[in-house]
């Protein structure tokens, strides 16, 4: 059953990311990052899910604590206060609240994009597989030019810009850039 959910989530992501949304399309990561590059904490920075229901954006953005995802080495993840956008079928989403949970994650191609009719490029992201097998998997796309700087969960067909966007927080253990 879990593999069926994984394939369902992957197919959904393929449909979503292959649609054309210029701003998002330009920001999607087009090469496979290493697990070390993907690891880190991602914090919710943008909620644009007004089609889910009136006031949904505000409920998500104003929620405290701010939703985060921590991708750890070894494929383990910790999601804190993650907005649960349940699909009641036929893309009828509803905010079912916020949930903290443990999961596993892995990097995979999540779709393809093309630049105005040019060659199609693979887009990479992750699938989050909750430890609770009754909970659905989530597929997110990486953003970034050379390494992941964020993750995007798209809803509906992707071209409508309905998404939750998480930005990667700076690694406090990384050395600070030298002042010039």
**CA diameter of the chain:** 55
Distance CA 73, CA 175 (A): 20
Domain membership flag for residue 179: no
What local confidence, expressed as pLDDT, does residue 1 receive?
Answer: 41
Q: Which residues contact 73 (CB under 8 A, 6 or more apart)?
A: 35, 36, 39
- Residues facing residue 123 across a β-bridge: 111
Domain membership flag for residue 180: no
User: Structural domain tally of the chain?
Assistant: 1
pTM beyond 0.85 = no
What local confidence, expressed as pLDDT, does residue 130 receive?
Answer: 96
- Residues facing residue 94 across a β-bridge: 86
What local confidence, expressed as pLDDT, does residue 5 receive?
Answer: 38
Query: One digit per residue, pLDDT tens: the chain, 180 residues?
Result: 444 433 334 334 443 444 445 688 889 999 999 999 999 999 999 999 988 889 999 999 999 999 999 999 999 999 999 999 988 777 788 899 999 999 999 999 998 887 666 788 899 999 999 999 888 899 999 999 999 999 999 988 666 788 999 999 987 665 544 443
Q: Which domain covers residue 158, as residue numbers?
A: 2-168
How many CA within 13 A on the CB side of residue 137?
22
Domain membership flag for residue 175: no
What local confidence, expressed as pLDDT, does residue 18 receive?
Answer: 42
């Amino acid at each position: 059953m879990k593999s069926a959910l994984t394939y369902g989530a992957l197919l959904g992501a393929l449909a979503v990311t292959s649609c054309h949304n210029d701003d998002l399309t330009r920001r999607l990561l087009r090469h496979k990052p290493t697990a070390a590059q993907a690891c880190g904490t991602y914090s919710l920075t943008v909620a644009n899910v007004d089609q889910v229901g009136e006031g949904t954006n505000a409920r998500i953005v104003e929620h405290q604590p701010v939703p985060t995802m921590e991708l750890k080495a070894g494929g383990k993840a910790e999601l804190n206060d993650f907005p649960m956008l349940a699909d009641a079928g036929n893309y009828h989403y509803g905010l079912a609240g916020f949930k903290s949970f443990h999961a596993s994650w892995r990097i995979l191609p999540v779709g393809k994009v093309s630049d105005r009719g040019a060659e199609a490029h693979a887009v990479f992201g992750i699938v989050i597989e909750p430890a609770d097998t009754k909970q659905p998997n989530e597929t997110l796309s990486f953003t970034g030019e050379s390494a992941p700087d964020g993750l995007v969960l798209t809803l509906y067909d992707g071209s409508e810009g309905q998404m939750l966007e998480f930005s990667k927080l700076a690694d406090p253990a990384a050395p600070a850039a030298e002042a010039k």
